[in-house]
Amino acid sequence: MDLDQLIRDADPARHLDIDLPEPHARITSSARREGRVAAILVLVAVVVVVVAVAVVFLGVRHQRAAQPASMPRALPLGGALHQAGPTGVLSNTRRLLQVYPDPDGGPAWGLATYQTQSAMTCLQVGRSQHGLVGAIGEGAFGNDGRFHPFTFSDLGLGTCASDDARGHAFLNIADRRFPANAAQEPCTVPPPRILSRMPARISDRVDRPCPNRPIRDVYFGLLGPDATSITYVAGNGRQRTEPTRGPDGAYLIVRLAATGFCDLQRVRATAPAGCVDNAGGQSGATLSPGEIVAVRYRDGHTCRLPTPQGNIVQLGSQCPPIGYTAPAGPSYTATQLAAPVTARKLLAQRYCQRSGSYQPAALPIPCDTSVPPGYRPFPGQRQLLVYISWTARAPVKNTQASSYSYTLQHPRACGGTTEGNSTQAIIRTGERVTRPFFVLDSCHGTYTGVVTYIPNLGPDGARNLGLGSASPGNGVLLVGRFSFTVP
């Protein structure tokens, strides 16, 4: 269908033309009486119309004030987003698998998937219109009231998961307090007891934007090829069962954001198993307790999860990724991966990074004398930049399946904290890998660190490791250690 026609069909606004009679030059007395009666009737009609318009206008204003997220189901199309995202996309694999109505009106929500050349399945989640997934211009895009479809570089609420040996992906995401326009970062509000202790200049910034912005709790994912249906708690508190769709068991649930926060003291007294509050999110191939209370599989068995009580979720049983088949791949030993790790210190008053680049491989550089073209300075106190480098003996072809991890241990006199990250990039065999650390040049002592290689440990392997992923053992292989001293 023509794009202009889609826009016309999506715009319900219409103009109403009213023709008024022209005045006569000569009017008889009878005509004058009839004219006066007609004039009175016209005046009454005009008053009625004015009152009706005022009522409608005020009603619309009241409705918009009470329901700021209400909008037409179809919006005019706007420009697409362009953000950094996955590369090597197989565009012919894109499928819109699930659609869920927004609880406050406007375009529905949609979940689409597509594959990449690096054996990953990516999920796009946002508002849906004309078979596309995107964001809406309310509280974003200059409030233009248009639908902005995602490109392949825009995931919205989504992310990518590594495929198993049969090409299936497993991933479950709970994204709470996400903006209803599907265009911005989640809005999280600290509990009142914390807000009350904040200085006014800080609490005003944190507290004011959030209550006035429509937000949603969004649950979506891929339960695998064997999942046939899910049972979840709907917005009215009742349980509802719906089929999963697509080859990977896709599902999507959207609710008005829950209110209140998880009071840990109350939880310890009433729910010893713990809880999950409604701010932030969680993800993993294993389905944890939440809004979904049951998953049914092709063989007839059902995995059941605890039913949430308000914003408190009893932690207990989980639903594992049924149907996952581990992909075949090369196995390595620590001896094969061992490589020297060097540390290079660069002290400067100012550092710069490439504009618009948030990739781990985009290294910050000292820029005391001048800012190179394409770079921008970033604020911060005087720090010491440290590059750590090593040679990759094994490749990383899929960032969701394997990676290198690097961790730094601060001196005990400086708090003894540990920080780290993973490479999060495609890496070739023999490539020289460099990653940065920032430390305070006023914090003296010896810093120690370790670089490890994390192979494909299954759909939840790397996620379950967390910061401890740098520690050799449990499938994680040592590459090398390093140290440096701040005198």
Model pLDDT for residues 194-225, shown as the tens digit of each residue: 556 666 555 544 434 445 678 888 999 999 99
Report residue 253 CA to chain centroid gap: 14
Integer Cα distance of 178 and 389 in angstroms = 38
Do residues 348 and 293 share a domain? Answer: no
Q: What is the pLDDT of residue 109?
A: 96
Integer Cα distance of 442 and 351 in angstroms = 17
Q: What is the pLDDT of residue 456?
A: 82
The answer for residues whose C-beta is within 8 angstroms of residue 130's C-beta and 6 or more apart is 6, 77, 147
Contact status, residue 288 vs residue 303, Cβ threshold 8 Å: no
Do residues 228 and 289 share a domain? Answer: yes
- Residue 285 lies inside a defined structural domain of this protein: yes
- Residue 39 lies inside a defined structural domain of this protein: no
Q: What is the pLDDT of residue 79?
A: 76
Q: What is the pLDDT of residue 397?
A: 84
Contact status, residue 321 vs residue 165, Cβ threshold 8 Å: no
Do residues 467 and 390 share a domain? Answer: yes
- Residue 42 lies inside a defined structural domain of this protein: no
Please report, as a single letter, which amino acid is at residue 168. Answer: H
Q: What is the mean pLDDT of each run of 10 residues along the chain (487 residues)?
A: 32 28 33 45 43 38 39 78 67 92 92 90 92 88 87 78 90 87 66 58 47 81 96 88 96 82 41 43 79 93 84 71 85 94 93 69 86 82 89 88 91 89 90 93 92 85 58 87 95
Do residues 293 and 361 share a domain? Answer: no
Q: What angle do CA 74, 131, 91 make, to 5 degrees?
A: 145
Contact status, residue 455 vs residue 395, Cβ threshold 8 Å: no
Token pair belonging to 357: 């680049």
Do residues 363 and 419 share a domain? Answer: yes
Do residues 146 and 184 share a domain? Answer: yes
Integer Cα distance of 20 and 399 in angstroms = 70
Do residues 261 and 352 share a domain? Answer: no
Do residues 289 and 360 share a domain? Answer: no
* DSSP code string of 309-360: BTTB------B--TT--PPP-----HHHH----EEEEEEES-EEEETT---T
- Residue 140 lies inside a defined structural domain of this protein: yes
Integer Cα distance of 458 and 474 in angstroms = 12
- Which residue range forms the structural domain that includes residue 445? 334-486
Please report, as a single letter, which amino acid is at residue 31. Answer: A
Contact status, residue 276 vs residue 316, Cβ threshold 8 Å: no
CA atoms within 13 A on the CB side of 273: 10
- Residue 47 lies inside a defined structural domain of this protein: no
Do residues 294 and 427 share a domain? Answer: no
Integer Cα distance of 121 and 261 in angstroms = 33
Could you count the other beta carbons within 10 Å of the beta carbon of residue 169? Answer: 29
Where residue 351 sits, what CATH number does that domain have?
2.60.40
Do residues 348 and 236 share a domain? Answer: no
Do residues 93 and 189 share a domain? Answer: yes
How many domains in the chain? 2
Contact status, residue 134 vs residue 123, Cβ threshold 8 Å: no
- Residue 157 lies inside a defined structural domain of this protein: yes
Do residues 375 and 467 share a domain? Answer: yes
- Residue 370 lies inside a defined structural domain of this protein: yes
Q: What is the pLDDT of residue 13?
A: 31
- Residue 60 lies inside a defined structural domain of this protein: no
Contact status, residue 432 vs residue 400, Cβ threshold 8 Å: no
Which phi and psi (to 5°) does residue 372 adopt?
-65, 155
Q: What is the pLDDT of residue 176?
A: 79
